[in-house]
Chains A and B, each alone.
Chain A
Amino acid sequence: MATSEPPNDHSQWLRPQRLSIGRWWKSGEPLIWLNATAVAVCIVAVLGLLGLIAVKGLAHFWPSDVLTIEYDRGFDQTKVAGEVVQRESISRGRFLEAYPDKSDIEGATVARWMVKSGNRRVNAPDFRWIFEHDILSLEREDEIVVFERAEWGNAYGTLATINETGKPAITESLWDELQARIKRTNQLRRQAEKIQNRFIERINHQFEKLRLQERRRALKGNYDIADLNAQREELNDRYIHQEGRLREVQSEMERDSVEVRIADGRITTIQLSDIIRAWQPNSMSYLEKFGHWTASMWIFLSEDSREANTEGGVFPALFGTVLMVLLMSVMVTPFGVVAALYLREYAKQGPFVQLIRIAVNNLAGVPSIVYGVFGLGFFVYLIGGSIDDLFFKAAQPAPTFGTPGLIWASLTLALLTVPVVIVSTEEGLTRIPAALREGSLALGATKAETMFKVILPMASPSILTGIILAIARAAGEVAPLMLVGVVKLAPTLPIDGNFPFLHLDRKFMHLGFHIYDVGFQSPNVDAARPLVFATALLLVVIIVGLNLSAITLRNRLEARYRGVLL
């Protein structure tokens, strides 16, 4: 903001000489210290927030040790294996409120650990508080295995046997065998996904197209659908074929299972098709842990989410955010730049233009939810509804464009961020000296040539800055998107292999909304919280990165043109 101000160094003032406390107070120096404290609070807040998100977000991927804890539950003693996710102390008063009969516990505070013990199906709950004074013994068993499962969260235990079609097959070198077989099921899973996504989904898409075609004919009064039925038959055959293939792969996946001994001695069976990864954190070296950590991060970035978004990756949300922002910038850039050019280069400067300038500036301060309301009413219901009536009669009553979707979200955010681009571009245009313009015109260039060859290139740093700031703002907005197109779980990405490839009418997922949804609407908050921190970290990295790149870019391009500007 303040890059061009003259150096204005107030700090070199003389400090008063050493004083008594009374005179020191009177001199006002303490108040200056207090002002310094305010800055310090702000710094601590910024660094603290970023640090908190970074630490909690990154820690989510670290394979922490699994402790086997034997503790007293009050009515009996039990053993549980799990990761300690949080340690805190609560006041004695609060403790006694919950356990009035335990007044023999000493100390002003009582320490407790939150242990993620997994095994949700056989040994619920998967997150439990254990009081430190209840713990009887702690162990760190090397052989303990953490299973990341496709459903029901993590499982913890030691390997007993590996079964093949229900019968014990392997009892020796279990760990290596397990890894090999997990690899096999993962390959099969990928194959199944391929069949599902590539073939079955395409067939479904064609079915839907046939349905619409039939409807379109019916609207015209043509009820002859023999050819459609023939096509449908053929599709159905293909569908049955693919479904058979899918079922074959799935039954292959079901072959193996593993018997796991959980901490309290019970044995439970886990299908290998449920297992995504397995690792032995207690026997991993730091290097191995680091490898696991980076692999986990990659999975987080590249895979779909599972279990109502509380596990797995955020790829669809990341994809949705990037796509929406790209579409938005495609729309916002020409309009923002043209509006700025008009205001600065073409419109007659006067009170009216000044008024518009203030209005544009102030639009940046209008709450984003207002844009959301506008987008929902105007874009979705009015324009989208009209488009449906005109072009998508066959699909009705199901709305195509008359419902929140990608295009409307991008448009709404384009409207929201257009002031940013206008203001930034105008700032760049003001800085171009009139001499350059006049020089260009004097050399015989037309006004259009001057604009394209001289003015726009010179204003490009500001334009780019504006676009980057707009993108940063758009990437972080959630409130308006909740009204115009974001959903918690979109079944398909807005881009796929079916014509027209980019589906502007589809709903999409978004990182910011993901945070809101998983953090606040999820049934299992304890399980979801680390993931939310990781998502928040990703979003912060994207946005702070964009802002920093805007600053750097501006500085670099400014340096290039400095010679001309001065």
Chain B
Amino acid sequence: MTRGVVAAGGVAVICAIALIMGYLVWVVVPMLMPASIQHLQSNAFDVEDVLNVSSHDTFESIEFIRSNGTVEFRDSESLEVLKQTEISPDPFLSVKHVFPNEDMFVALTDKQELLFFSLTHRVRFDGDVRSVENDSEVLFEGSTVALEDSEDYDVYREDTRLLVASLLPNGEIKVFEFDDIDNNFELEDPREATVSTWGETPRETEILLGPRGRWLYQFDSSTGEYRLVNTASIRRVRVEAEGSFSSNRNRFAHVTPVLGRYSLLVADDSGGLRHWSLGPSANGTDFQLIREFSYRSPIKKVITENRRKGFLAVDQAGTGHLGYTTSSRTLTSISMGNVPRLIAFSPRADRLVSVGETTDVYKVSNKHPEVSWGAFWGRVWFEGYGEPEHTWQSSSADTDFEPKFSLVPLLFGTIKAAFYTMLFATPLAIMGAIYTAMFMSPAMRRWIKPGIEIMAALPTVILGFLAGLWLAPIVESHLTSVFLVVFVLPIGVLICAFLTTLLPNRVSGRFDGWFAALSVPILVVLAYFIFANDAAISHFFFGMDAKTWLYEEAGVDYDQRNALVIGIAMGLAVIPVIFSISEDAIYGVPQHLVRGSLALGATRWQTLVRVVLLTASPGIFSAVMIGLGRAVGETMIVLMATGNTPIMDVNIFEGMRTFAANIAVEMPESEVGSTHFRILFLTAFVLFVLTFALNTIAEVVRQKLRKRYGNL
């Protein structure tokens, strides 16, 4: 009975431990699952006059806007008509989304007027029965914007600003800006601006309004040349840049904007799909080619997702390729028959609706397209950047933000923090262990060892707090001293040490084993003297403040919470670990080895280096491994004593962001199940495996050592 309970309990605990690893993997794995598209159904009804197809957030209904000025809400499963409403008695020539809104549309009527409307989906609860009431609603009291023979138009609206751009037959572009608009009031008093014609000869062009209504893009649909017009201020509308999307090899075909419209997908006539983004260039803002996709046959139609930077490109053969820009991936393909006339992603990008000869619905499962080996570890050319970079920036307040998931800056920060920590801790801990184990008087050792070990129990939040609020300002204002003590203290101690040899042997012999205690007052006095006179000392060396000198003469940036502070603070957390284990290893070296060496005439130092350290080296190695494991995973000190900026700079005077600190900062805000959430789990898993491996190596080495001592 007892046996059963104990065994069950024991196995349960061990399973719980295995569960940790299993669970981390279980969360990470869905991220690596391939995407898929699946054809759900095909339906034949009259769609010839459908101008636009769209769907609502939860994909309960699909809306078909027809050229007779009506909208049909159809059930997303049966495709039965749920409701039909008339938006306007005037027939529509074309319908577009009002950028960047999901539910707001603009229609060009046959009177050459722009009419604004939105499709609404009100959720009602009757008791616990949920129903959705679909409706269309004409905005701005039905007021319209007259365009007079527009060749092309585009509309942007955010909050209270509405921007309408219209391409006139004479090649000019008219821009109207409405301020302080409200859905329930008429549109009135636009401010106007005109962009002059493009060149002498008339061209066939299209226009698109860009991000935040600050830009207007105009392309020549035959040559692929473009103009970039700055519309940030209606009073100073001006052409910012001109260029061409085509090259000698590739002839331009058509353009589709990616979410946010900071970048465009440009298809050519030979199967290429090139991603151009607005970004800083030599002469101001301009389009830059940031990545290319290539397919077998020419891309005829491209649509983009509403909430991510993904796209679907349909080629001549009617094959739809599901892709993602940031990760440069083509995720999956599906044959759609021939090229549909209209296609639309559902807002959550989990469904596709295509309208061609028939109306087809596809199920898309594509949860984590942002993830790829290249996106994690390679340089990625993000939208709006001047060049490919390693960047970690997981979230932003903007909805059209491109998440940047490069793990390199975090890995770099982790290594940097661990490096400076070990640089500080390893020598101190090992040297301390050598002295404590070999030379210290037993009376003193009894106190010193537990004393230093108790430091390991000190909560790291306290070390972090002291490092961030007490040490960092001191280091900043006494920079010269911090580096000076590294040289002066040993020299000072050595001088004092030599002086003791001048004392009569009877006296100095008593010091033996108490060197450490003797050094303490020397250290304290010297360090105090140096720190108290820091200003004078740095004036002597640099003629000014050390920090000013760094910045002005050496051109080195100084961040108050930097790797130096981390090295010292985290060093203090790691020292007891390394100290304790290596002290055990050195102390355990069998006495007869030491005695034999000394009897053969070796000095104490020779015995130490050639016999003791050699024998104990595996133990010291494992101590360093365990210390490194602790430095890699430490969270609070790094969180509190650095600025936590994910930069990549080896400079000791700059901060960093480590994996552990990144998890602590971002995990609470991460949406459950999102790519970001799973990537954070991935980094936790990496930390787990890394420290587990380091500790296992250390443990195996230590067990071997124990056996060796046993044999000796």
CB within 8 Å of B: which residues of A? 1-2, 5, 7-11, 13, 15-19, 21, 24, 27-46, 49, 52-53, 89-94, 97, 108-109, 218-219, 221, 223, 334-336, 338-339, 341-343, 345-347, 356, 358-363, 365-374, 376-378, 381, 415, 418, 422, 447-448, 451, 472-473, 475-479, 482-483, 512-513, 515-516, 519-520, 525, 529, 532, 536, 539-540, 543-544, 547-548, 551
Given A11-B439, A39-B448, A341-B6, is A520 in contact with B468 using a C-beta cutoff of 8 Å? Answer: yes
B437 touches A (CB below 8 Å): yes
6 interchain residue pairs of minimum CB distance: A28-B605, A342-B10, A367-B633, A476-B459, A338-B9, A36-B515
Which B residue sits closest to A7, measured CB to CB? B442
Q: Which size class do B's interface residues fall under?
A: 35 or more
A28 and B608 alpha carbons, distance in the complex (Å): 10
A52 touches B466 (CB 8 A): yes
CB neighbours (8 Å) of A27 from chain B are 603, 605
Q: Specify which chain A residues have a CB less than 8 angstroms from the CB of B591 in the assembled complex.
A: 8
A381 CA / B538 CA spacing, docked (Å): 55
Name the residue of chain A whose CB is nearest to the CB of B631: A367
Chain A residues within 8 Å of B435, by CB: 32, 35-36, 38-39
Q: With A476-B457, A543-B458 given, is the CB distance from A369 to B664 under 8 Å?
A: yes
A-contacting residues of B (Cβ < 8 Å)?
Answer: 1-3, 5-7, 9-14, 16-17, 19-20, 23-24, 27, 127-128, 427-429, 431-432, 434-442, 448-455, 457-466, 468-470, 477, 489-490, 493-494, 497-498, 501-502, 505, 508-509, 512-513, 515-520, 523-524, 534-536, 538-539, 544-545, 548, 572, 575, 579-580, 583-584, 587-588, 591, 594, 598, 603-606, 608-609, 626, 629-630, 632-636, 639-640, 660, 663-664, 667-668, 672, 680-681, 684, 687-688, 691-692, 694-696, 699-700
Q: Is the CB of A367 within 8 A of B691?
A: yes
Q: Are A447 and B3 in contact (CB under 8 A)?
A: yes
Chain A proximity of B481: nearest CB distance (Å): 12
CB-based contact B536/A108 at 8 Å: yes
Chain B's closest residue to A6 (CB) is B591
Q: A2-B587, A35-B435, A520-B640 are in contact. Are A91 and B538 (CB under 8 A)?
A: yes
B544 touches A369 (CB 8 A): no
A367 x B12 contact (CB < 8 A): no
A543 to B460, CA, bound (A): 12
Kindly identify which residue among B7, B603, B629, B660 contacts A365, using a CB–CB cutoff of 8 Å.
B629
Cβ–Cβ < 8 Å partners of A479 in chain B: 635-636, 639, 660, 664
- Within 8 Å by CB of A536, from B11, B19, B462, lies B462
The listed residue (A40, A94, A540) touching B458 by CB distance below 8 A is: A540
Q: Which residues of B contact A89 (CB under 8 A)?
A: 535
Given contacts A10-B594, A30-B494, A91-B535, contact A358 B699 (CB under 8 A): yes
Known pairs A38-B435, A477-B459, A515-B461; A43 contacts B10 (CB<8 A): no
- Tell me which of B1, B7, B459, B489 contacts A37 (CB under 8 A): B489
Looking at A367, A376, A478, A525, which has the most chain B CB atoms within 10 Å of its CB? A367
A548: B residues at CB distance < 8 A: 454
* Distance between Cα atoms of A19 and B502 in the complex (Å): 8
Do B629 and A19 touch (CB < 8 A)?
no
Decide if B663 touches A373 in the complex (CB within 8 Å).
yes
Are A342 and B461 CB-contacts (below 8 A) given A34-B431, A42-B452? no
Contact check, A17 vs B668: say whether CB atoms are below 8 A apart.
no
Contact A473 B457 (CB under 8 A): yes
Given known pairs A39-B432, A368-B635, the reply for A362 and B667 (CB within 8 Å) is no
Known: A15-B512, A33-B515, A43-B520. A516 touches B465 (CB 8 A): yes
A476 touches B603 (CB 8 A): no
A sample of 12 inter-chain contacts (CB < 8 A) reads A1-B580, A30-B494, A41-B523, A42-B452, A49-B572, A342-B13, A362-B695, A377-B24, A476-B460, A516-B465, A516-B640, A547-B457
Determine chain A's interface SS by DSSP, over half rule.
helix
Residue of A nearest to B685 (CB): A370
Q: Does B13 lie within 8 Å of A422, measured CB to CB?
A: yes
Task: Find A5's partner among B460, B498, B588 (CB 8 Å cutoff).
Answer: B588
Query: How far does the alpha carbon of A169 sit from the alpha carbon of B202 in the complex, in Å?
Result: 92
Do A90 and B477 contact each other (CB < 8 Å), given the known contacts A447-B2, A543-B459? yes
| Nearest Cβ on chain B to A562's Cβ, whole angstroms | 18
B604-A13 in contact (CB<8A): yes
Q: A365-B691, A482-B668 are in contact. Are A18 and B663 (CB under 8 A)?
A: no
In the complex, what distance in Å separates the CA atom of A475 from the CA atom of B460?
11
A39 touches B633 (CB 8 A): no
Q: Are A367 and B604 in contact (CB under 8 A)?
A: no
Task: Name B461's contact: one of A109, A347, A376, A476 (CB within 8 Å).
Answer: A476
Name the CB-closest residue of B to A49. B466
A360 to B17, CA, bound (A): 8
Cα distance A367–B327 in the bound complex, in angstroms: 30
Closest-by-CB residue of B relative to A513 is: B461
Known: A34-B490, A377-B27. 20 other contacts (CB 8 A): A34-B431, A36-B440, A39-B448, A42-B432, A42-B575, A44-B524, A45-B455, A93-B544, A94-B548, A336-B13, A365-B630, A369-B635, A369-B684, A373-B667, A448-B3, A473-B457, A483-B664, A513-B461, A539-B461, A539-B462
A250 to B135, CA, bound (A): 54
Q: Is the CB of B451 within 8 A of A43?
A: yes
Q: Which of B128, B436, B454, B466 contacts A39 (CB 8 A)?
A: B436
Distance in angstroms from B619 CB to nearest chain A CB is 13
A38 and B639 CA atoms in complex are apart in Å by: 28
Of B460, B513, B629, which is within 8 A of A11 by CB? B513
CA distance A15 to B692 in the complex (A): 44
Q: Assess whether A32 is in contact with B439, with CB atoms less than 8 Å apart.
A: yes
Asked whether, in the complex, the Cβ of A448 is within 8 Å of the Cβ of B605, the reply is: no
Candidate in B11, B453, B517, B604 with the most chain A CB atoms within 10 angstroms = B604
Q: Which residues of B contact A483 (CB under 8 A)?
A: 664, 667-668
Q: Are A34 and B516 in contact (CB under 8 A)?
A: no
In the complex formed, the residue of B with least CB distance to A344 is: B10
Q: Is the CB of B572 within 8 A of A45?
A: yes
In the assembled complex, the Cα of A480 lies from the Cα of B583 at a distance in Å of: 31
A418-B13, A540-B462 known; A370-B684 Cβ under 8 A: yes
B518 nearest CB neighbor, chain A only: A36
Alpha-carbon gap, A64 to B434, bound state (A): 46
B675 CB to closest chain A CB, in angstroms?
15
Select one of B13, B23, B505 contacting A335, CB under 8 A. Answer: B13
Determine whether the beta carbon of B605 is less than 8 Å from that of A342. no
B635 touches A1 (CB 8 A): no
Contact A448 B1 (CB under 8 A): yes
Most chain A beta-carbon contacts within 10 A, residue among B3, B11, B636 = B636
Assess the A35–B432 pair: CB atoms within 8 A. yes
**Contact across chains for A9 and B512 when beta carbons are under 8 A apart:** no
Cα–Cα distance between A482 and B668 once the two chains are bound (Å)? 8
Checking B11, B16, B451 against A46 with a beta-carbon cut-off of 8 angstroms, the contacting residue is B451
Decide if B535 touches A109 in the complex (CB within 8 Å).
yes
Q: Which residues of A contact B632 (CB under 8 A)?
A: 367
Give the residue name and chain of the B residue nearest to A9 (CB). Answer: B442
Identity of the chain B residue whose Cβ is nearest the Cβ of A418 in the assembled complex: B13
Q: How far is the CA of A515 from the CA of B515 in the complex (A)?
A: 37
Give every chain B residue within 8 A of A35 (Cβ-Cβ). 431-432, 434-435, 439
B440 contacts A11, C-beta separation under 8 Å: yes
A514, chain B: closest CB distance, angstroms? 9
Question: Would you call A512 and B459 a contact (CB within 8 A)?
Answer: yes
Q: Given the complex, which residues of A lie within 8 Å of B545, measured CB to CB?
A: 91, 93-94
Contact partners of A34 in chain B: CB under 8 A: 431, 490, 493-494
Q: Nearest chain B CB to A211's CB is how many angstroms away?
A: 16
Q: Are B523 and A53 in contact, with the CB atoms below 8 A? A: no
- Report whether B667 and A376 are in contact in the complex, using a CB–CB cutoff of 8 Å: yes
